[in-house]
């Protein structure tokens, strides 16, 4: 036992020594004038990461050294730090200087600041100029920003072209699933402006099952209310018909890159429908359960408790699990699991007297309606294909 403790201690000492050695080497390169090392040291100091003790003053000093050597990323990060501290005068100054060096992210942020009038006077023309500059440099996020500008100018058709450009672009760090999800919500707003209720409902439903309505900001609540109005204007038959394109579009935008599908060479049997075989199901259970094991454990523990606080935590956990299931919504079993846990969450919310859960209940009920239509379409499609496969 003593030997084991000694070996563990030795291992920790070795790891710590290696960490210190890497820090010293990075510091040395930074102090010798390497701009990229100065950027790395500055960011590590700012965030207190990779063994560096957090020191924001020292962080800015290293970032400044890097920026003076023409490192545009250092300039962007300096600007972002000042923006985080609500020092917009310096933020804009550094964003502009970094933008002159070709920083796309700086152009994006400048465009947003002028679009919403945050720390600067709202100026749609200036916002548009910055977004267009970013697009010329190959920026992707700028397409959504420019689309939002066009919506402000009451130009929904122009906005849709920009949103489509972003949705059609490959997934990258600047064009993540989250960015695509919010672009789906923006498309809903554009179609509402055009009076196209069916497309507004389609893109609003995609935004719904990708969780972009899950925050409680006033803007989000207003957009959800508009989505609810669009949904109420469509017949159940129309919503059932649209279920196919909703889940197929969701697959194209958010599911095709999942490693499980790739590793097991799984393809939809029809648009928006994956029917796994027995072995694939067994493999997927482990694949899905392991990263979500804490969530499953939390739900099971909270179900045994009856106090109001436990019920509220249970609902939040159940809704999180439903969202996790819908990340694989093309797999009809996952849609079914999402439906089940969402129904359970709604039942628990019926017992909660906290008004702050009213919005989440409306959200869950609408999600359940969309998931029901998707699931019914998927099951009907599978049943229709089975006789043909056996013939």
pLDDT above 70 as % of the chain: 94
**CA 174 → CA 47, 250, 380, distances in Å?**
21, 19, 38
Q: What is the radius of gyration, based on Cα positions, of the chain?
A: 25
DSSP state of 255: I
Answer for the pair 313, 231: CB distance below 8 angstroms, yes or no.
no
User: At how many degrees (to 10) do helices 56-68 and 88-100 cross?
Assistant: 30
365: left (phi over 0), alpha (psi -120 to 50) or beta: alpha
Q: What is the 3-state secondary structure (H, E, C) of 268-325?
A: CCECCEECCCHHHHHHHHHHHHHHHHHHHHHHHHHCCCCCHHHHHHHHHHHHHHHHHH
Query: Whole-angstrom Cα distance, residue 189 to residue 182?
Result: 11
What whole-number distance in Å separates Cα of residue 293 and Cα of residue 53?
Answer: 33
Q: Kindly write down the DSSP assignment for every residue of 86-100, as one continuous string.
A: T-HHHHHHHHHHHHH
- Evaluate the CA torsion angle 259, 263, 266, 271 in order and state its sign: positive
- For 381, how many CA atoms within 13 A lie in the half-sphere containing its CB? 23
Query: Is residue 44 within 8 Å of residue 52, measured between CB atoms?
Result: yes
Residue 157, phi then psi, degrees to nearest 5: -65, -40
Per-residue pLDDT of the chain (391 residues; tens, 9 = 90+): 554 454 455 454 444 444 557 888 898 999 999 999 999 999 999 999 988 999 999 999 999 999 999 999 999 999 999 999 999 999 999 999 999 999 999 999 999 999 999 989 999 999 999 999 999 999 999 999 999 999 999 999 999 999 999 999 998 887 899 999 999 999 999 999 999 999 999 999 999 999 999 999 999 999 999 999 999 999 999 999 999 999 999 999 999 999 999 999 999 999 999 999 999 999 999 999 999 999 999 999 999 999 999 999 999 999 999 999 999 999 999 999 999 999 999 999 999 989 999 999 999 999 999 999 999 999 999 999 876 554 4
pTM of the entire structure? 0.87
């Amino acid at each position: 036992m003593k030997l084991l403790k000694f070996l563990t201690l030795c291992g920790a000492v070795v790891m710590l020594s290696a960490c210190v050695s890497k820090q010293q080497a990075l510091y040395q390169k930074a102090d010798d004038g390497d701009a990229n090392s100065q950027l790395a040291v500055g960011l590590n100091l700012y965030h207190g990461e990779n063994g560096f003790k957090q020191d924001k003053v020292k962080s800015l000093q290293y970032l400044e050294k890097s920026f003076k050597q023409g490192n545009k990323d250092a300039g962007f990060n300096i600007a972002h730090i000042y923006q985080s501290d609500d020092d917009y005068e310096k933020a804009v100054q550094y964003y502009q200087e970094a933008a002159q060096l070709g920083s796309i992210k700086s152009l994006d942020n400048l465009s947003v600041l002028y679009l919403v009038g945050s720390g600067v006077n709202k100026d749609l023309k200036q916002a548009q100029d910055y977004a267009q500059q970013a697009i010329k440099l190959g920026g992707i996020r700028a397409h959504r920003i420019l689309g939002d500008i066009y919506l402000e100018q009451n130009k929904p058709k122009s906005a849709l072209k920009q949103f489509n450009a972003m949705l059609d672009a490959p997934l990258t760090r600047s064009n993540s699933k989250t960015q695509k999800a919010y672009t789906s919500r923006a498309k809903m707003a554009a179609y509402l402006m055009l009076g196209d209720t069916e497309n507004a409902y389609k893109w609003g439903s995609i935004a719904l099952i990708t969780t972009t309505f899950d925050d409680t900001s006033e803007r989000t609540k207003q957009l959800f209310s508009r989505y609810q109005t669009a949904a109420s204007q469509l017949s159940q038959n129309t919503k059932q018909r649209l279920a196919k394109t909703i889940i197929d579009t969701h697959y194209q935008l958010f599911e095709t890159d999942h490693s499980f599908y790739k590793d097991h060479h799984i393809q939809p049997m029809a648009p928006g429908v994956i029917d796994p075989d027995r072995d694939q199901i067994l493999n997927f259970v482990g694949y899905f359960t392991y990263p979500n094991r804490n969530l499953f454990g939390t739900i099971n523990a909270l179900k045994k408790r009856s106090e109001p606080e436990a019920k509220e935590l249970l609902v939040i956990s159940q809704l999180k699990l439903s969202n996790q299931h819908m990340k694989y919504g093309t797999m009809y079993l996952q849609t079914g699991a999402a439906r089940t846990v969402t129904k359970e969450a709604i039942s628990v919310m019926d017992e909660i007297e906290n008004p702050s859960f009213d919005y989440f209940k409306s959200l869950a009920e609408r999600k359940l309606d969309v998931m029901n239509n998707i699931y019914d379409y998927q099951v009907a499609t599978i049943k229709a294909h089975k006789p043909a496969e056996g013939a």
